[in-house]
């Protein structure tokens, strides 16, 4: 009996995963002076649209703001604001946070996500504040960066919002996205390149505006220039924005 020829197995197809493409910075031909002038007009438009833009996290002290900012990582400010009233009642100062039982603190902040690592950060931060700063939240970038769970973004927020010190610019997801769409980046690679984004913005905007700028951009990013559906038609920055109307 004639053997039937062996069927050749189909060549395996290599399935390539789509990488989550980050929008890259498109280098424009705009000169540095022109970019500076446009940045000034953007700042003026923001001041007109949001004359009182401020931090959305509820707080009554530097420590409360520090705690709320740590909790706001990967979480909405609304959610943090729901958690903090009870939290601050139970833990009114650095000593109370430093001596907190991790399981009890975890239960209180669970809904903000990443609650185990946030608990470690809160207790660790409070222990250093108590031991090295006599229970007072430090007011310099160098000292804030010594606290567990505190990076530049959190330190900038506390320094600018509570202490009124414009040391840097808070770069969160909204600020990164808007800086990219508004064509304000000269050295950053993309909208997650936080260190360079901060440097680019600091070079473009006057120091006295840094804290305000971040709060206003965050507000604008939440309400108008959302990640998925920016509302360019209703945007007060549209005349100065190279991305206006480019979203399908």
Asked whether 47 and 71 are in contact (CB, 8 A), the reply is: no
Which region, left, alpha or beta, applies to residue 150 given φ > 0 means left and ψ of -120 to 50 means alpha? beta
237 binds ligand SF4 (CB under 6 A): yes
Judge contact between 189 and 25, C-beta under 8 A: yes
CB nearer to ligand SF4: pick between 140 and 231: 231
Total residues contacting ligand SF4 by CB under 6 A comes to 13
174 binds ligand SF4 (CB under 6 A): no
Distance CA 189, CA 148 (A): 28
Is 232 an interacting residue with respect to ligand SF4 (CB under 6 A)? yes
DSSP codes joined into one string, 120-175: HHHHHHHHHHHHHSTTSPP-SHHHHTTSTT--HHHHHHHHHHTS---SS----HHH
Q: Which residue has the tokens 């920055």?
A: 237
Q: Is 32 exposed, middle or buried (0-12, 13-18, 19+ CB in 10 A)?
A: exposed
Residue with tokens 């939440």: 222
Binding ligand SF4 (rule: CB under 6 A), the pick from 28, 104, 111, 231 is 231
Catalytic member of 93, 139, 143, 172: 172
Helix axes 173-181, 210-223, angle to 10 degrees: 90
Give 41-97 as a DSSP string: HHHHHHHHH-TT----S--SSHHHHHHHHHHTTTS-HHHHHHHHHHHHHH--SHHHH
Q: Does 230 bind ligand SF4 (CB under 6 A)?
A: yes
Name the residue nearer to ligand SF4 (CB basis): 10 or 233: 233
Residue 244 touches ligand SF4, criterion: CB under 6 A? yes
Which one, 25 or 167, has the nearer CB to ligand SF4?
A: 25
Give the x/- contact pattern for ligand SF4 in 179-198, rule: CB under 6 A.
--xx----------------
Interacting stretch for ligand SF4, rule CB under 6 A, among 51-59, 65-73, 166-174, 239-247? Answer: 239-247
Q: Is 77 a catalytic residue?
A: no
Question: Per CB under 6 A, which region of 4-12, 15-23, 161-169, 237-245 contacts ligand SF4?
Answer: 237-245
Q: Is 213 in the site for ligand SF4 (CB under 6 A)?
A: no
Asked if 224 interacts with ligand SF4 (CB under 6 A), we say yes
Q: Smallest gap, in angstroms, from Cβ of residue 224 to ligand SF4?
A: 5
Shortest Cβ distance from residue 166 to ligand SF4 (Å)?
23
Interacting residues with ligand SF4 (CB under 6 A): 181-182, 224-225, 230-232, 235, 237-238, 241, 243-244
Residues marked as catalytic: 153, 172
């Amino acid at each position: 009996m004639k053997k039937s020829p062996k069927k050749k197995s189909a060549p395996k197809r290599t399935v390539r995963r789509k990488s989550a493409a980050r929008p890259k910075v498109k280098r424009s031909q705009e000169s540095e002076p022109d970019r500076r002038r446009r940045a000034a007009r953007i700042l003026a438009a923001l001041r007109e649209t949001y004359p009182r833009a401020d931090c959305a996290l509820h707080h009554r002290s530097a420590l409360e703001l520090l705690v709320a900012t740590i909790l706001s990582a990967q979480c909405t400010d609304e959610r943090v604001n729901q958690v903090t009233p009870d939290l601050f009642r139970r833990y009114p100062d650095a000593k109370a946070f430093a001596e907190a039982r991790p399981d009890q603190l975890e239960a209180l902040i669970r809904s903000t996500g990443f609650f185990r690592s946030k608990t470690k950060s809160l207790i660790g931060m409070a222990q250093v504040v108590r031991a090295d700063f006599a229970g007072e939240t430090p007011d310099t970038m160098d000292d804030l960066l010594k606290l567990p769970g505190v990076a530049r973004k959190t330190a900038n927020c506390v320094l600018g919002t509570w202490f009124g010190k414009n040391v840097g610019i808070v770069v969160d997801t909204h600020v990164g996205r808007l800086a990219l769409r508004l064509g304000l980046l000269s050295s950053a690679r993309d909208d997650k390149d936080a260190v360079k984004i901060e440097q680019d913005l600091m070079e473009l905007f006057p120091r006295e505006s840094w804290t305000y700028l971040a709060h206003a951009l965050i507000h604008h990013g939440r309400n108008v220039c959302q990640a998925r559906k920016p509302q360019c038609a209703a945007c007060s920055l549209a005349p100065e924005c190279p991305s206006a109307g480019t979203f399908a």
